[in-house]
Amino acid sequence: MKNIILLCFGFMVATPAVALDLGIATFNVDATPPVGSALCGGSVPPVIGVNDSLSARGLILLPRTQEPVVILVVDWAGIGNAGQTRWKQALAVAVGTSVDRVVVHAIHQHDAPFCDFSVEAIMAEAGLPGEMFEPAFAMEVIQRTAFAARNALGRGVPISHIGIGKAKVEKIASNRRILGDDGKVAQVRWTACTDPLLRAEPEGTIDPWLRTVSFWNGDVPVAILSHYATHPQSYYRTGLVSADFPGMARTGREKELPDSVHMHFNGAGGNIGAGKYNDGSIKNRAVLAGRLQDGMKKAFEATRKISLKNESLGWDTEKVSLPLRTEIDLETEKKRLADTSATLAERMNSAREIAWIERVRSDHPITISRLRVGPLQMMYMPGELFVEYQLAAQNMAPDDFVCMAAYGDYGPGYIGTHVSYAEGGYETGLHTSRTAPEVEGVLLNAMKVLLSR
C-alpha cells in the first residue's frame, strides 16, 4: 500500500508511434457513496438517499508493442492531488503499466463526492476528518476499480477501426460570466438560473459541438466516448446522489446501443453552464438529458470509421508546474485552518490552499496527456478549465479531430485564461482558482507541444 500512496513524478514521457495491433478491454464499477457521506466536498448536504447510482467507467487500450493505456472517468465532483495519485497507482499496478499511461477524470456532478487525500490529511490533522469526503469509501472504490481493471484484461477484444463524429448540441451550454460595460464580470449566470434577465443574455463563448470517439471490432462499436463542455448540473444540493443529466443521457444511449460501453467526459466547461436554458426545476433535468442524448446520437450517426491497418498510436505526456497566485499566503491559510471560530467552509478552503501550495513548492507537477490514433487527438487536462483552452486546442490542430477531457487533477481548482483574472468573477476568485494568470501561457505551450507530435 505504501507504494500506492507515494506521489511519483518525473520528466516528459514520449512513446514513439507504432503500427497498430490494438486491443481494448472495458470495466464499470459502482461508485455510489453511502448515506451520511459528504457530497461535493462538503459544500452541499450529505447523502440522504440515491436518486440514481454513480459509476467509475474505464477502458484499457492494449497496443501489442506498448504498455497499456488506461482511461477512467468517474461520476464524482472532482479527484485531486493524492486522490489522483492513489487511483493512478492502483490502476497502473493492476494492468501492468506505468502511472503516466493512466488518466483519471471526473464529470463534476454536484450531488456526488470529491476525493483528495492530500486535503483530507490536512483536515484530519486539524481535527476535521471526513468532512470533505469519506476516505475509507473512496479507497474501497479505488480498490474495486483496480480489481475490475485487472479482471478486464482477460476479456480484451481486437479493434479494427476507430470512429469519429460530432454534432451540435442545442440549448444546453451558455457562458456563465456576464461582462459589464467596463469589461469586468457584472454577474455570474449560474448553472441553475431563475433570473429572466440573465437567461435572456446571449450564450456567449461556448463550444456547441459534442464529439464522439468509438472503438470498433468489425461492425460492432465496443466502446463509445462522448465529450461535451458544460457544468453538468440541472438541480442539486438535494442530498440525493445523482449522475444528473449527463448520466441520464448516457443511460438513454445504453438502452439504444446495449452492446457498447458508454463513457462521457466533461470538456473544458469551467466557465460554461446550462443557466440560459435551465431554471433549476426538477422537470428540466429530463429536458437537458434529452438534448444531450440527442447530441450523442447524432454525433454517433455522423461517425466516420477509420481502419487501423495503416494507422499508428502515440501516447505523450508533459509535466507542467502551474504558477501560484500571489494573493495567497501559506501562513495565513494555516492560521485560518486552525481557527475554530472560522466556518467549516473557510477552514476547508484553507486546507485546499495549503495542499496545493505545498504540492507546488515540493515540485510535484501536473501531468497533461495526449492520445493520438491517426487523425484523432484526445487531450487530458486538469482542473475546471475554461472553454477557451478547448477552442485553442482545436485551432492548434485544425486538420485533426481534437477532443478534450478536463476535470482531471482537481488540485488547482478553476483554471482561467490570463485576461479572465482581471475580469473578476467567481471562477477566478480567491479560494476558487489556485493558479495565477500566467497559467495560460504554461498550458498553451504544453498543449502546442503535445498536439504537434
Give the angle subtended at the CA of 31 by the CAs of 158 and 275, to the nearest 5°. Answer: 100
Q: What is the mean pLDDT of residues 124-149?
A: 97
Whether the pLDDT of residue 257 is over 50: the answer is yes
pLDDT at 11: 27
What secondary structure does DSSP assign to 183-206, as a single string?
Answer: SSEEEE--SS---HHHHHS---S-
The closest of 182, 252, 173 to 210, measured between CA atoms, is 173
In the chain, the amino acid numbered 313 is L
**What's the rounded Cα separation, in Å, for the pair 112 and 243?**
7
List the domain boundaries for the chain. 2-451
Whether the pLDDT of residue 1 is over 90: the answer is no
The closest of 405, 389, 406 to 440, measured between CA atoms, is 389
Is 188 within 8 Å of 177 (Cβ atoms)? Answer: yes
Percent of the chain with pLDDT over 90: 92
Q: Using 50, 70 and 90 to split pLDDT, how confident is the model at 333?
A: very high
- Cell numbers given for 58: 474505464
Whether the pLDDT of residue 70 is over 60: the answer is yes
Whether the pLDDT of residue 17 is over 90: the answer is no
**What's the rounded Cα separation, in Å, for the pair 355 and 413?**
12
**What's the rounded Cα separation, in Å, for the pair 417 and 221?**
37
- Dihedrals phi, psi of 435, to nearest 5 degrees: -115, 160
pLDDT tens column, 288-304: 999 999 999 999 999 99
Whether the pLDDT of residue 14 is over 80: the answer is no
Determine the length of the chain. Answer: 453
- Cell numbers given for 100: 503516466
- Which segments of 98-176 does DSSP mark as H helices, in order? 117-125, 135-152
Q: What is the mean pLDDT of residues 308-314?
A: 88
pLDDT tens column, 85-104: 999 999 999 999 999 999 99
Q: What is the mean pLDDT of residues 366-386?
A: 97
Whether the pLDDT of residue 312 is over 90: the answer is no
**What's the rounded Cα separation, in Å, for the pair 187 and 198?**
8
pLDDT tens column, 206-233: 999 999 999 999 999 999 999 999 999 9
Whether the pLDDT of residue 108 is over 80: the answer is yes
Whether the pLDDT of residue 19 is over 80: the answer is no
Q: What is the mean pLDDT of residues 357-371?
A: 96
Q: Using 50, 70 and 90 to split pLDDT, how confident is the model at 151?
A: very high
**What's the rounded Cα separation, in Å, for the pair 18 and 309?**
11
Strands 312-320 and 366-373: antiparallel
Is 390 within 8 Å of 413 (Cβ atoms)? Answer: no
Q: What is the mean pLDDT of residues 378-389?
A: 98
What secondary structure does DSSP assign to 356-398, as a single string?
Answer: HHHHHHTT-PEEEEEEEETTEEEEE--SEE-HHHHHHHHHHST
Strands 18-19 and 312-320: antiparallel
